[in-house]
Structure 1
Amino acid sequence: MSSRPPRRPVDGLLLLDKPQGLSSNAALQRARWLFKAAKAGHTGTLDPMATGLLPLTFGEATKFSQLLLEADKCYEAVLRLGVETDTGDAEGQVIATATVAVDRRTVESALARFRGEIEQIPPMYSALKRDGKPLYEYARAGIEVERAPRLVRIHTLVLLDCDGDTLSLRVDCSKGTYIRTLAVDLGRVLGCGAHLMALRRTRIGPLNLSAAVTLEALEAAPEGPARDAMLAPVDTLVAHLPAIELDAVCAAAIMQGRQLPLPGTKAGQLRLYAAGRFLGIGQTDGQGRLLPKRLVANGKVGSALG
């Protein structure tokens, strides 16, 4: 009988450049195995077809992953005009074709309709649930269910290239935006149909692909300190929040779940530190009080941000 490899406590954030053809969970499990981590999770899944930034959280960092789920995201997308598929991407079956007769000016005019706040109908091939079952299960069974439109926001939509039946776009958008749906809707506005050929995520909130590592680089790093050094500190996930340093007495009170007086502060979240160590995040209520919101275990993790 094979024994399970030993797990160890690992705390930190790995910015992974996910390869094409691998699910987010499969990428997570490979990284977790390499670190022999006891606890791990991912934030903001990518379809197997998509590549790019996939933040993986380990240990205490998993407590803060929800913050990334709410963050804006940036993608680079390649669209194929003239062909619609049942999934909205290159992995689906072709359901319609049309002649492509568009130029850059036509495309730019069409893109203007998708900037700002727009409504999207979520695709059937998605993980959204209806009656406890993911929509993609209905889709695979040939059943289409009604989906309510959702409001999303496209902050930036830039045409990077327009070459015959292929478009390249940069999309900066709110959470919950489906780039596959954007591709399909744009194709219909252009009158020729379209689907998503390739997708690469380049940013989530304050985190950028430029700082990401590949699975190959992770595997090549020697096991131990060299590999662990590829993890970013836990507080990287909350670097966008203002920080406050607590003395030893106040830090002990916060870690015991007690509130502290903090006059003159507006309501909002703060990063909490004591002697340069990250304690977690607190919430000010706008009435001069600081309350613990999400804390690390015993303030045990270090920080590179302070």
Structure 2
Amino acid sequence: MAKAPQRRTPRRVVNGVLFLDKAVGISSNNALQKARWLLNAAKGGHTGTLDPMASGLLPLTLGEATKFSQTLLDADKAYDATVLLGVTTTTADAEGEVLARCPVDVSDSDIEQALVKLRGDIEQVPPMYSALKHHGKALYEYARAGIEIPREPRHVRIHRFECLSRDGDSLMVRVECSKGTYVRTLASDLGAMLGCGAHLTALRRTRIGPFVIDGAVLLADIEAMPPEDRDSLLAPVDSLLVHLPRLDLDANQTRSFTHGQSAQGCIGAAGGVFRVYHDEGFLGVGNLDDAGALVPTRLISTSNQ
């Protein structure tokens, strides 16, 4: 006799931000799906991918928080990384095939001089093994087929690129950079400048915007908790917007704002973008003009908070 199909528990509305410490060996999307499953969350997204070989901070947005993911996609980031001199690979990291091995005869001073040249505003050619699209297809798909696609250099800003320690040909480095920076390309460029080649052997993201890895949780930590306690790990939706000034509305202004209309008479604040509240409830984001009219640019649903 055939078994009756098991009923799946309906996904529930979960709103908030989960600051995940992604482990090595899992993709960002798989980490997101596992977290959604553990929280039984209906909707979720992430704020910038980490390669499977990388670990570290991966903020996950759930429910209404997905509307503000772009905030962190555009933010500066910080990484700790390990670079091995003398070996180049197809992917500029440890997952690629070795292309060449060269002797390493560089001093600490040589390394510092090369690092200086890679700081500040630089042009960086995205690697072929990346998720960037060309005619709707990821570059890594072309790379796996042996096809080289011309890529335009992109402007990025390297706020910090320093060697923390050296163990033979292996360097521990720290990078603070703008969005769109490929740390493995930095490692490859460093090796090229030193004349010996290099590739990335480890990468850990430690900061995105104002958020740091301290306090982030592993998937294993979530799994070990009783299901009823897991929501306590979530930060509120507006935690992604702490960099914006706050504006509180009265009842009449709130009525207009939440219906997609401009709220008038918002005096006492300079123009600009604000996170907006009424009676401590977060309503969304609005743009305030010099006449005191607040135009909603992103509203959240208050019915399921």
**Above 0.5 in TM-score?**
yes
8 Å CA contact retained: 2:15, 2:63: yes
Q: Deviations over 1:209-241 (max 9, x none)?
A: 1020111111111111x2110011111111111
Structure 1's unaligned 5+ residue stretches are 302-306
- Structure 1 residues 113 and 245, CA, compared in 2 at 3 Å: closer, same or farther? same
Instruction: State how far apart, in whole Å, the 1-side matches of 2:273 and 2:8 are.
Output: 40
2:122 match: secondary structure = strand
Deviation for aligned residue 1:264 = 6.4
Deviates more, 1:64-73 or 1:155-164: 155-164
Instruction: State how far apart, in whole Å, the 2-side matches of 1:173 and 1:285 are.
Output: 32
TM-score under structure 2 normalisation?
0.95
Deviation for aligned residue 1:242 = 0.6
Instruction: State how far apart, in whole Å, the 2-side matches of 1:130 and 1:284 are.
Output: 38
Residues 1:177 and 2:181 aligned together: yes
Instruction: State how far apart, in whole Å, the 2-side matches of 1:218 and 1:150 are.
Output: 38
1:260 maps to: 263
Instruction: State how far apart, in whole Å, the 1-side matches of 2:17 and 2:267 are.
Output: 33
2:7 maps to: 3
1:62 match: secondary structure = helix
8 Å CA contact retained: 1:255, 1:298: no
Instruction: State how far apart, in whole Å, the 2-side matches of 1:196 and 1:299 are.
Output: 47
Deviation for aligned residue 1:266 = 4.3
Deviates more, 1:206-215 or 1:18-27: 206-215
TM-score under structure 1 normalisation?
0.95
RMSD, aligned CA: 1.3
2:289 maps to: 285
Deviation for aligned residue 1:269 = 1.2
Deviation for aligned residue 1:268 = 2.3
Deviation for aligned residue 1:70 = 0.5
Amino acid at match of 2:142: Y
Structure 2's unaligned 5+ residue stretches are none
Instruction: State how far apart, in whole Å, the 2-side matches of 1:52 and 1:131 are.
Output: 31
Deviation for aligned residue 1:63 = 0.6
1:297 match: secondary structure = coil
Amino acid at match of 2:222: L
Aligned residues: 300
Deviates more, 1:140-149 or 1:158-167: 158-167
Deviation for aligned residue 1:260 = 2.0
Residues 1:85 and 2:84 aligned together: no
2:128 maps to: 124
2:214 match: secondary structure = helix
8 Å CA contact retained: 2:67, 2:298: yes
Instruction: State how far apart, in whole Å, the 2-side matches of 1:299 and 1:259 are.
Output: 21
1:108 maps to: 112
What is the aligned counterpart of 1:154 among 153, 158, 175?
158
